[in-house]
Amino acid sequence: MADRRGLLIILSSPSGAGKSTLAGRLRDWDPSIVFSVSATTRAPREGEVDGQHYRFTSDSEFKAMVSDGEMLEHAHVFGNFYGSPMGPVQEAIDSGHDVLFDIDWQGAQQIRNSALGQNTLSIFLLPPSINELRRRLEGRGQDSDDVIAKRMQKSWDEISHWDGYDFVLVNDNLDATEEQLKTIITATRLRRSQQPDLNEHVRKLQAEFEERT
């Protein structure tokens, strides 16, 4: 058995608030953290590899996985289905590896309410301002004006669920936010529920105590 049980680390934010960048930094900090590879019904973008960036599925295959209880969470976003298969996540946390999720508030809620909910650590990232959020989206150069407008419209819906998370950080400085994330994760790894050997250790202490009395 692993020394500790892995965490399901959930990072959520409106698009442009920095969660993808910070997720990458966390992986650089601790390569044992694994990204949850989501399943999706959208078509692969240039350079994306099936099984590495996403697990690309058909609508019928995705719906079958949902009905069979094989999804930790799932949602319909911008015309496509996205979801997190449960099997690889269960295997990872049982072996002591943390699994990182870059998902929205609906997915976070589903995971917290799942059979693995006790192992979750949820963190929401707020932008310093709405103007800065739009500036970051425009600066990425990845989306059309129409897509940016849709993301901005959706941003308040995301932000309005900030109070459903364990921790909330204002990402006005990437380096400072990264350090805060590391501190939160390090502390949560020591949570009693993540240390399966504690009960046995306490029993040994009790036996030693009784031998001395």
Give the neighbor-by-neighbor strand order of the sheet with 71-77: 55-56, 39-40, 80-85, 71-77
pLDDT at position 140, please? 74
The answer on pLDDT for 115 being more than 90 is no
- 206 versus 2: the higher-pLDDT residue is 206
Give the mean pLDDT of the chain.
Answer: 90
For the segment 122-147, what is each residue's pLDDT rounded down to a tens digit?
Answer: 999 999 888 888 887 877 767 777 87
CA distances from 8 to 74, 100, 106 (A): 15, 6, 15
pLDDT at position 2, please? 65
Dmax (CA) for the chain in angstroms is 76
The answer on pLDDT for 207 being more than 90 is yes
Residue type for 75, please? A
Q: Domains in the chain and their CATH numbers?
A: 8-34+98-212 (3.40.50.300)
- DSSP codes of every residue in 10-66: EEE-STTSSHHHHHHHHHHH-TT-EE---EE-SPPPTT--BTTTBEE--HHHHHHHH
The answer on pLDDT for 1 being more than 60 is no
pLDDT at position 152, please? 83
For the segment 144-166, what is each residue's pLDDT rounded down to a tens digit?
Answer: 778 777 878 888 889 999 999 99
- 15 versus 184: the higher-pLDDT residue is 184
Specify whether the CB–CB gap between 104 and 12 falls below 8 A. yes
Question: Residue 49 and residue 45: Cα distance in Å, rounded?
Answer: 9
pLDDT at position 145, please? 77
Specify whether the CB–CB gap between 114 and 72 falls below 8 A. yes
For the segment 31-56, what is each residue's pLDDT rounded down to a tens digit?
Answer: 999 999 989 999 998 899 988 889 99
Specify whether the CB–CB gap between 19 and 13 falls below 8 A. yes
pLDDT, average across residues 104-117: 90
CA nearest 182: which of 22, 20, 64?
Answer: 22
Secondary structure letter of residue 138 according to DSSP? H
Enter the pTM of the model: 0.82
CA distances from 22 to 9, 51, 110, 161, 176 (A): 12, 22, 23, 20, 11
